[in-house]
Structure 1
Amino acid sequence: MSTLTSTSTPAGTEPVRRGPRLSGLNWLVWHQHRVAFWTLIALTVVAVGWMAYQRGQLTDQLNGVPGWPHPTDDDWAAKVDRSRLAWAATGLGFIPVVIGVFLGAPLVAGDLENGTAKLVASQSVSRVRWIATKLGTTALVVVPLSVVLSVMFGWWWGPVRSSPNILDWSTGPAFDNTGPVPVALTLFTLVGGVAIGMLLRRTLLSMVVTLGFAVAVQLVWSYFRLDLANVVTVTTSNGVGENAYPAVPDTAYSIDQSYLTANGDLIGWGSCNEATEKAANACLEQKQVIGWSVDYIPFSQMSSMQWFGASILLALTAAVTVFILFWGRRRLV
C-alpha cells in the first residue's frame, strides 16, 4: 500500500523561493543604484528596438539599388540615406562619457560625502569587499548593455560597411561603436570616474573632473587609433602618368602618397606641381621620379586593430581597478 507525501507548506513557514536572487551586499548595492541601473537598461532596450527598425529601413533602401548585393551603379552609396546611421553613431559615442560622469563618479564619492562609507567600515564587511561589490555589480550591468549596443550597431552598419562614403570604418563613429572598443572605452571611463570620486570625495566636483577625464580619453584615443595598424606600403616603377597609380582597395584608409625616385628616395607628390605639363614633366625627369609609393591601412585590419586597442584599454582598466582597491583598503575613510 503506497503512501502520499503532502506538498503543502506547513503553517508559519516561508515558501521556498526559486530562481536566482540578490542577497546581502549585492542586494544593497543594486538597491542603492537601482534607478541608474534600470534607466540604463530601459534606454538600451529602446535603442535596440530603434536600431532594429532602422536596419529594416536600410535593407529596404538597398533592395532598391540595381543589382544589390552586387550593385552595378558605382554611385550607389549616394542613394542611401546615411543621416540616421551617423546620428546614432554620434549618440553612441557619448555613452562612455555619460557612464563615467553619472555612474562612475558618484559610485563611491556619494558614499564618502554622505557618510555611508564610514557606516560600512564599521560593519563586518571589509572595505575592499564593499568596493569590489560596487564595481562588480556595476560592471555586470554596463558590460552586457555595451555589448548589445555594439552588436546591434554593427549589425545595422554591416550591409554598407564596405562604403567609406556612408560611414568610414577608420573614423570614430564606426571604429569606436563596434566590436570590443565601446565596451573597453566604457569600462575604462567608468573605473576612472570611480577613482576620481574616491580621491576628491565630493560628488559634484568628481562629476565635473570625470567629464574632463572622459573627454581627454576620447581625444587621446582618437589621436592614436590608427597607430594600432600595420601600415601597408605599395610601390610602382612605371612612371606617374595615367593609369600608373598603384592599385589600392577602395575600402582602405590612405595615409600618405609620395613620388619614388630611381635611388629609392621619396619626395612629396606636390614637389613637381608646376604651372604647365611640360614643366612638370621636366621636374619629374630632373628628380628621376620613376613611380609612386603609397602607404595605406586595409579594411581587413579593422578587427585586429579593435582587439589590440581594447586590450590596451582593458589593461589600463585593470590597473586603475587595482589602485581603487588598494586606496580603498588603506585610505578610504
Structure 2
Amino acid sequence: MTTMTSTRTSSAVTGRGLRLTGLNWLVWRQHRATFWTLIAGTVVAAGWMVYQRMGMMDTLHALGWPHPKSENWYTSVGKGAITMTGYALGFLPILIGVFVGAPLIAGDLENGTAKLVTSQSVSRMRWIITKLGVTVLVVFLGTVVLSQMFGWWWSPMKDRPEFMSWAEGPAFDNTGPVLTALTVFTLVGGIAIGMVLRRTLLSMVVTFGFAVAVQIAWSYFRLQLGNPISLTTHAGVLNSSPPSVPSGAVELDTWFTTASGKLYGWATCAGGATEKAEQACLDKQGIVGWRVDYLPASQMASMQWFGASVLLALTAAVIAFIFVWGRKPVI
C-alpha cells in the first residue's frame, strides 16, 4: 500500500514537472490563488464581452447595418454596458498594482519566506527574477486578451464618435497596447515599492497612491501623444464661424489668428460694447480669421503605440531598479 502510494505521488510530481518545474513551480504554487483569480477573471470578463458583442451585432443587423436606412440608427444601440465595462477596465491597473504587485515580494520580506528560500541553493536574484517573470507573464497575457476582446466589441461602432469617442479613456486606454502597458507598469511599480518598504499593508497603501497618480498623469498627457493638425481661415471672425473638423476628430483648441500667424484667445475683444467697437479691436490686433487645432481619428493607433512605448521604457527602468535593489543584502 505504501509502495503504491509513493509510486502514485512520484508519478504525479513527474507529470507536473513536465509542465512546471523547480523555482517556477514553487512561485506558481505560492501565488496560485492570485494567479488563478487573474485567469478566472480574464475568462469571465472575456465571456461577458463576447455575450455583449453578440447582442450588439443582433441589434445592428436588425437596423440594417452596415448600411442602415435611418440617419440616427446609432442611437438605438445601447452603450451603457460597453461604457461601464470600459470604466471598470480603467481600474484594472490600480487593482493589479495594489493587490498583486505590492504584496508579491513585500510579503516574503515581512514574513521571512524570502530569507528561507534564499538560504537554500537559490540566489536572491534568481528568486526575484522568477517571481517577477511569472507574475508579469500572467498579467501580460490576461490584459492582452481583455484589450483585444474590448476592441473587438467596440469595433462595429468605432467610426461613431457619438457612441464612444476614440480619445476618451474607455476606448483609448482599453484597446491596442495601452491597457497592457499601463497595467504592467503599475504592477512592477508596486513590486518595487514593496521591495523598498518591506511591509505588505504599507506597500499596498503607497502603491494605491502611485497607481492613482499614474492614471491621473496618463489622462492628462493622453492627447499630448498626437500631432495636432490645424485648419485656418482668413475671412474675418465676426461674420464667419470656426472651420469644422473632420468627422471623428477631436478638437483641441480654437484661436483667433493674424495674417502673420500670431494667435489670440477666441474671447479677445469680446468685451466690445458694439459690433463696430469689437471689429475695431480686432483690426487693431490684426486678427483676420480662425484657427482650429484637432487630432484626427487616424492617429489613434500611432498615439497608442507611442504612449505604450513610453510606459514600457519606464517599466524597464523600474525593473532595472528592482534588480539593482535586489542585489543588496535585504532578503
Structure-2-length-normalised TM-score: 0.89
Task: Identify the match of residue 122 of structure 2 among 109, 120, 125.
Answer: 125
| Structure 1 CA distance for aligned equivalents of residues 93 and 71 of structure 2 | 37
Task: Determine helix, strand or coil for the equivalent of 2:234.
Answer: coil
Task: Identify the match of residue 307 of structure 2 among 296, 309, 322.
Answer: 309
1:33 partnered with 2:49: no
1:254 partnered with 2:251: yes
Q: How many residue pairs end up in the alignment?
A: 321
| Structure 2 CA distance for aligned equivalents of residues 18 and 130 of structure 1 | 20
| Structure 2 CA distance for aligned equivalents of residues 192 and 153 of structure 1 | 25
Deviation at 1:139, TM superposition (A): 1.3
**Aligned in 2, Cα 1:265/1:218: closer, same or farther, shift over 3 Å?**
same
| Structure 1 CA distance for aligned equivalents of residues 287 and 110 of structure 2 | 69
Partner of 1:218: 215
Structure 1: runs of 5 or more not aligned: 1-11
1:209 partnered with 2:210: no
Structure 2: runs of 5 or more not aligned: 1-6
| Structure 2 CA distance for aligned equivalents of residues 310 and 163 of structure 1 | 25
1:48 partnered with 2:42: no
Partner of 2:138: 141
Deviation per CA, 1:197-235: give whole Å up to 9, x if none.
111111111111111111111111111111111111121
Give the superposed CA RMSD: 2.3
One-letter code of the match for 1:204?
A: L
Partner of 1:322: 320
Deviation per CA, 1:159-184: give whole Å up to 9, x if none.
11222222111121111111101111
> Contact 1:100/1:189 (CA < 8 Å) preserved in 2?
yes
1:191 partnered with 2:188: yes
Identity %: 61
Partner of 2:4: none
Structure-1-length-normalised TM-score: 0.89
Task: Determine helix, strand or coil for the equivalent of 1:221.
Answer: helix
One-letter code of the match for 1:206?
A: S
Structure with higher helix content: 2
**Aligned in 2, Cα 1:240/1:105: closer, same or farther, shift over 3 Å?**
same
Task: Determine helix, strand or coil for the equivalent of 1:117.
Answer: helix
Deviation at 1:290, TM superposition (A): 2.9
One-letter code of the match for 1:233?
A: S
| Structure 1 CA distance for aligned equivalents of residues 330 and 141 of structure 2 | 29
| Structure 2 CA distance for aligned equivalents of residues 126 and 307 of structure 1 | 36
Deviation at 1:80, TM superposition (A): 2.0
**Aligned in 2, Cα 1:221/1:279: closer, same or farther, shift over 3 Å?**
same
> Contact 1:234/1:295 (CA < 8 Å) preserved in 2?
yes
| Structure 2 CA distance for aligned equivalents of residues 111 and 142 of structure 1 | 20
Partner of 1:92: 89
> Contact 2:178/2:305 (CA < 8 Å) preserved in 1?
yes
